[in-house]
Amino acid sequence: MSKQAVNVNGQSLTIEDICNIANQHKVLKLSNETTFVNRINKGAEFIETLLKEEGVVYGVTTGYGDSCTVSIPLENIAELSTHLYTFHGCGLGSHFDAQQTRAILVVRINSLAQGFSGVRYLLLEQIVLLLKHDILPLIPQEGSVGASGDLTPLSYVAAVLSGERDVLYQNKKQPIKTVYKSLNINPLLLKPKEGLAIMNGTAVMTALACLAHQRATYLSQLCTRITSLVSVALQGNSYHFDEQLFAVKPHAGQITVAKRIREDLHITAPPPRNNTRLQDRYSIRCAPHIIGVMEDALPFFRQFIENELNSANDNPIIDAEGEHVLHGGHFYGGHIAFSMDSLKTTVANLADLLDRQMALLMDTKFNHGLPANLSGAKPEQAMLNHGFKAVQIAVSAWTAEALKLTMPASVFSRSTECHNQDKVSMGTIAARDCIRVLELTEQCAAAMLIATVQGVQLRNIPEQLSDKLSTTLSELREHIPFLEQDRALEQELRLCIKLIQQQHWTLYE
């Protein structure tokens, strides 16, 4: 069965569109409508006209950045794009993974498809070929300050389009020349402005932001489900999530979280007057208020991310219709930097919430009769088995690392490039930090999901569980058995993390 297509035609894409292509759930289809093709090509033709008239265009007839006062003779203009991606080939660190690289390619082509970058339609087709054959440029993660956009990482895209550097193809690192030859693809000879148009934008940080937003959305729901399970395991007061209670502080996100927990616990009636457990600790009672902050912030972050995704964000902007060359700073990634700095804080708060909930489950002073460390050992083996003791320590370590990374990257702007780039966004670093905080929090969630299901099963009250909680319990047990005797849990944790990242668990509509 053929996959559904996401159409790139200069119209708006969504975060979900980017993620679906990045995860290979859908394919990208570039419009070949005559009006769209002509609109794209008109920008490149306008550049050619300016060159014939000896017009001055930054990055076309001048050097780059602080070198913009250096004039380039017409006979050397064709070489300028090659020099741009060549001297920017200095990235370091780990390479972006396959999912992230696909997202980067889609975000870049969508920006160029807005029609204000002065590139040929042929360039867009070459990017489509990379995606079609899953030819993924090996892009180092480190080296961008987020203005003038993601120059260094995107130089690896420009180089690959031109037939240089290495790619990941068929799960192997290979020179792009070898791959092109095997597929009978000709490398692209970049025209004036095309090297700059590929590199001078926010594609890397925006791609990471799309992926981060989707992961955070799912993680928020998963932490809500875990909280419901923790409340059951700790015999908590389920009326902390009462509808009338939350009506008097009407933040939409926390109301949604409380409603989800209330349905998980199938609470429909007001609390009884003789309820002896008046108040649970904050990590249970205030969970909707903590998770609700993220729920309320996600639509706000979406607006920033999708505006950036559907923008022309290179420099200069080529208005072929009005015959203007507009020099500005649309490569500046401030909105993405702010979104990622803010999102990683809300995510880290989820890690901290899970860590506190884990502490309650483990400690016999607070877990209301559960075995120490949730050990499932029989009485005669109890003194030898330590249950989730080490897992709790690991959760604390992952949480501490996540919290440490919440320092905002955007305030660490560094003046660079002869003080031409004297105030920069740090958006790519903020996005990379956010991805790392998500990874650490997903690790905490995996550990907590396994431990909390153990706690619920130790209560031995299957008839009291809602269908939703029973489903989560059975879905986990399909992969990870009850912990009776101590065993190394690394591989099971890794499997659970993978399932979380694949959004395996059935949660909320």
pLDDT tens digits for range 207-243? 999 999 999 999 999 999 999 999 999 999 999 999 9
In a domain, 111, yes or no: yes
- Does 507 map to a domain? no
Do 196 and 158 sit in the same domain of this protein?
Answer: yes
CA pseudo-torsion sign 458, 459, 461, 466: negative
Which has more pLDDT, 488 or 69? 488
Helix (H) or strand (E) holding 318: strand 317-319
- Regarding whether 184 and 87 lie in a shared domain, the answer is yes
CA 198 to mean position of chain CA atoms: 21
Question: In the predicted model, is pLDDT for residue 56 greater than 80?
Answer: no
Distances (CA, A) of 293 to 215, 349, 427: 16, 10, 22
pLDDT-derived band at 465 (thresholds 50, 70, 90) equals very high
Pairing of β 324-326 and β 172-175: unpaired
300-332 as b/e: b if 16+ CB within 10 A: ebbebbbebbbbbbbbbbbbbeeeebeeeebbb
Taking only the tens place, the pLDDT of each residue in 389-408 is 999 999 999 999 999 999 99
pLDDT of residue 278: 81
Q: Are residue 71 and residue 151 in the same domain, yes or no? A: yes
Interior CA angle at 495 toward 92 and 222, to 5°? 95
Residues 288, 434, single domain; the answer is: yes
CATH of the domain at 475: 1.20.200.10
81 lies in a domain? yes
Beta-carbon contacts of 302 under 8 Å, excluding residues fewer than 6 positions away, are: 15, 213
Whether 14 is in a domain gets the answer yes
Q: What is the average pLDDT across 369-386?
A: 91
pLDDT band at 490 (very low <50, low <70, confident <90, very high): very high
The confidence score (pLDDT) of residue 47 equals 87
Residues 152 and 275 in one domain: no
Q: Is residue 383 part of a domain?
A: yes
pLDDT confidence of 72, banded at 50, 70, 90? low
Residue-range definition of the domain harbouring residue 50: 5-201
Q: What is the rounded average pLDDT of the residues 259-263?
A: 96
Taking residues 69-74, report their average pLDDT. Answer: 64
For 423, other C-beta atoms within 10 Å of its C-beta total 12
Q: Give the DSSP letter of residue 358.
A: H
CATH for 144: 1.10.275.10
Does residue 130 fall inside a structural domain?
A: yes
Least confident of 15-19, 44-48, 414-418: 414-418
- Model pLDDT, residue 65: 60
| Together in a domain, 222 and 323 | yes
Whether 63 shows a pLDDT value over 60: the answer reads no
Tell me: do 195 and 221 sit in the same domain.
no
Q: Are residues 268 and 122 in the same domain?
A: no
What pLDDT, on a 0 to 100 scale, did the predictor assign at position 416? 87
444 occurs within a structural domain = yes
Region 359-383: mean pLDDT is 93
Q: What is the mean pLDDT of residues 383-393?
A: 94
Name the average pLDDT for the chain. Answer: 93
The reported pLDDT for the residue numbered 274 is 57
Integer angstrom CA distances of residue 459 from 48, 52, 371, 483: 75, 81, 10, 14
Q: What is the DSSP letter of 2?
A: P
From the centroid of its chain, how far is CA 11? 22
Per-residue model confidence as pLDDT tens digits over 151-183: 999 999 999 999 999 999 999 999 999 999 999
Looking at the structure, do residues 323 and 195 belong to the same domain, yes or no? no
284 pLDDT band (50/70/90 cuts)? very high
pLDDT confidence tier of residue 269, bands split at 50, 70 and 90: low
Residue bearing the bigger pLDDT, 502 or 68 = 502
pTM: 0.95
Instruction: Please state whether the peptide bond connecting residue 413 to the residue before it is cis, i.e. omega within 30 degrees of 0.
Output: no
- Looking at the fold, whether 217 and 197 belong to one and the same domain comes out as no
User: Does any domain span residue 392?
Assistant: yes
Q: What's the angle, vertex CA 300, arms to CA 241 and CA 412, rounded to 5? A: 115
Which one of 169, 185, 201 terminates a domain? 201
Print burial letters for 168-203: b (CB count within 10 Å at least 16), e (below 16): bbeeeeeebeebbeeeebebbebbbbbbbbbbbbbb
Question: Which residue among 159, 175, 201 closes a domain?
Answer: 201
* Domain final residue pick, 201, 219, 235: 201
In this prediction, residue 495 carries a pLDDT of 98
Percent of the chain, pLDDT > 70?
A: 94
Average pLDDT estimate for 32-60: 85
Question: Based on the structure, what is the number of domains in the chain?
Answer: 2
pLDDT at 325 over 90: no
For residue 418, with 0-12 CB atoms within 10 Å meaning exposed, 13-18 middle and 19 or more buried, which class applies?
A: exposed
Q: Residue range 447-456: average pLDDT?
A: 98
Q: Are residues 438 and 454 in the same domain?
A: yes
At 62, is the pLDDT very low, low, confident or very high (cuts 50, 70, 90)? Answer: low
Q: Let me know whether 371 and 435 are in one domain.
A: yes
